[in-house]
Structure 1
């Protein structure tokens, strides 16, 4: 029977160095003499040194966000002539929706205009947009759209720094893992494309509070995150699976209850008084057709190649594109099937999987099976993969695929209203590479769950650093289940032999 220690015992007194714990970085370090020796004084560990690992990571995060702001600067005026928002890769929903949602006219989200986002995002838009509009009314010389974007960019960047700080707090013995997040080109290109860092920052705080054994408060922040974007709600599923495995259902109940209560509380005012506006988000997601770059989009393209000239000239993906309700049910069913597989993995793995591993798998499964995958959704996966599998090689390959898709996507936007910029097959290839690399990351995470000795995080932690109240021994039924599937070869304890009657 596999057991786990009830407390987190140190594997090492020193924070790990990437050049010794990561094969990819170790190989690169050979160019400068190889990894640090066992007796070297590690940078950031010297007494009195200002540039500790934590400060370096936070500074790098701020630098990446500053460069991202500069990259978006050609679009900040809102004067998008000659498709400058696409040719310079600087399009942002934040600026576009300031006008599309009527914030520039002083319209209150949901009250005067239905908003296509969950309520916390709508509240956030109004909380920043309405003061900017009021200030612009009294100062007509300013560009309201520019001010609105910059205020949003500042707050979203602050939430990105909070996310980096949470990663550092959860990986005190592996601070350099957070560098994968801090210097990621994904942040550079997509940090302020939409309001996704609002949900990411709230969910990150929720994970931190869970790790610190405050399940009720963790649920509050997960509920707020789910009311900003839906995906933080998915974290409750992995928590439930791990709670069952570790006999810790009470903390999970408090987290789930406060998540539901918080989500309901922030939704209630709009739901009750502006019900039609509240329904806009849900109806839009039901009615949306196949989006660019998804699995279904790639399938529909292949339909056009394989079924051209056949009777009806229509393959299965094209048929689904014409029958959106059926497509919805199929995508939900595939996601549910993936979640069922993740549940089986969580209960049959030789050691209890880490929360970040299962959370990454669930969110990635949702994106891989969804009919909508907007360009900024990649931000959902970034902090989770850093916590789940902090190895540079595969993440760099995935980032390259995301960058290829990003450039191909903007080329498609350019060609949407005029002459195509790239062949459609090139965009489909870029979309396929993105899907494949995310699936490969999932496979690598599954492999490390099934073979925990390959998990880099477990080199420094004897149990899950994010597990909080889940850390401890498995429930007895886990060993029974594993023996049922012949996964645990340790024999069950034999019954003691019957006592012989005493001889007189």
Structure 2
């Protein structure tokens, strides 16, 4: 009995320790930075500049009274965390207090993900991996992407249960927090159109219902702000379109190396075309094996999006990690990906410090090497997802009549 209790509670205890480590990693620099310490020690967090530069300290409403380059749901979360900070710390509240609240809320979301994995009978080893996830240490206090991650995990698990309308609604709400959950919606729609044992009219009705659910839930979050302050609401989308790229994106690496240096409009066009073509190929090649559970292909589509997007910020790895745990057939590429994430994180931040003469001399070539190391397991996951059947434990009612921690006849490590 004691051993059973440990197996159930152990991941939660470990996750608590991981979250403490994540907060300490970002919080040790305090409310301000000096001499590039935010890059040299890795403690950079968006929460610190946002406290003063986005009206959080003053309690200004995002979009209405202050600019915000995040989607609406994330902007509202930032405002709420600022309110909590001011209530807890009073007039002495500063950026360090805000960072603590941001980390605490992200920790709660990380626990929510673990609880969802637990209730979905995800194999114990994978729950332990989430509890000890290196990306949680790196990004728990980095910014606010955990909100979209938790909503996307909820959407995937709803799709796994066959609750497609709930999955579409959750993915749409997640898109109001960060853009990447939108990648699940086409998969749900295509699956509805291809549903077995339905007339074409029934298929169109099912797909139309999913589209309607997604639009309604997304609009319910966005329209009140868009109608009142359209320009500020649209800043996230205009900002994303105007960004040239980040140091670890394949486009910036190619430009620096002189392989393909394009203007912004060309980069936007080709990054979209290459992603769309690759995503279409993933769905087409994975169709035979995954037609009845097309949501499984969200993981390789997301990996392809990260590889081809013009922006690859460090915390984007947090987007992919839980879905690797939920759908990847093997653990070794997940471990490889996590190691690549750590390498890319330090390469990018030490590169920023080196640019001002205070770092260890990291160059764009080091970033390219770390990004290439990280890309290998991502490409393996993409290829394996379209070539291999999903592990039995991923599916509802596998060959053993339920969710199997051993994966039935398929290797899942």
Determine which of 213, 221, 243 is the counterpart of 1:266: 221
Of stretches 234-243 and 47-56 in structure 1, the one that deviates more from structure 2 is: 47-56
| 2:274 match | 334
Q: Which moved more, 1:116-125 or 1:87-96?
A: 87-96
- Give the structure 1 partner of residue 310 of structure 2: 371
Match of 2:250 among 295, 304, 307: 295
Deviation larger for 142-151 or 290-299: 142-151
Instruction: Please give the TM-score of this superposition, normalised by the length of structure 2.
Output: 0.88
User: 1:116: which partner in 2?
Assistant: 69
2:371 to 431, 455, 468: 431
The CA distance in 1 between the partners of 2:184 and 2:297, in whole Å, is 8
The residue that corresponds to 1:71 in the other structure is 25
Taking the TM superposition and a 5 Å limit, the aligned residue runs for 1:170-189 are 170-172=120-122, 174-189=123-138
Kept after mapping to 2: 8 A contact 1:103/1:126: yes
CA shift for structure 1 position 419: 5.7
1:162-207 C-alpha deviation (Å, 9 max, x unpaired):
11121222235x2322222221212111122110101111222223
Q: What does residue 9 of structure 2 align with? A: 55
Change over 3 Å in CA distance of 1:329–1:423 after alignment to 2: closer
**2:119 alignment partner, one of 169, 181, 185:** 169
Contact 1:116 1:281 in 2 (8 A): yes
| Structure exhibiting the larger radius of gyration computed from Cα positions | 1
- Tell me, which stretches of 5 or more residues in structure 2 are unaligned? 404-413
User: What is the count of residue pairs matched by the alignment?
Assistant: 396
Contact 2:340–2:374 (CA<8 Å) still a contact in 1? Answer: yes
Choose the corresponding residue for 2:56, options 86, 98, 103: 103
CA 1:259–1:126: 2 relative to 1, 3 Å: same
1:284 aligns with 2:218: no
Q: What residue number does 2:169 align with?
A: 220
Tell me what 2:406 maps to.
none
1:398 matched to 2:337? The reply is: yes
Q: Distance in 2 between matches of 1:284 and 1:398?
A: 29
Shift of 1:292: 1.1
Deviations 1:183-237 (A, max 9, x none): 1212111122110101111222223333344433333322211100011111112
Contact 2:63/2:232 (CA < 8 Å) preserved in 1? yes
Higher relative contact order (CA 8 A, sep 6+): 1
**Of 418-427 and 223-232, the range deviating more from structure 2:** 418-427
Are residues 220 and 302 of structure 1, via their aligned partners in 2, closer, same or farther at CA, if it must alter by over 3 Å?
Answer: same
| Structure 2 match to 1:80 | 33
1:422 correspondence with 2:372: no
1:270 CA displacement: 1.3
Name 1:200's counterpart in structure 2: 149
- Match of 1:436, SS? helix
RMSD: 2.6
Distance in structure 1 (CA, Å) of the matches to 2:230 and 2:356: 36
Which whole-Å CA distance do the structure 2 matches of 1:95 and 1:437 have between them? 33
For residues 191 and 47 of structure 2, what CA distance do their matches in structure 1 show? 37
Task: Find the aligned partners of 2:159 and 2:288 in 1 and give their Cα distance.
Answer: 24
> Which residues of structure 1 form unaligned runs of 5+?
1-46, 304-314, 467-504
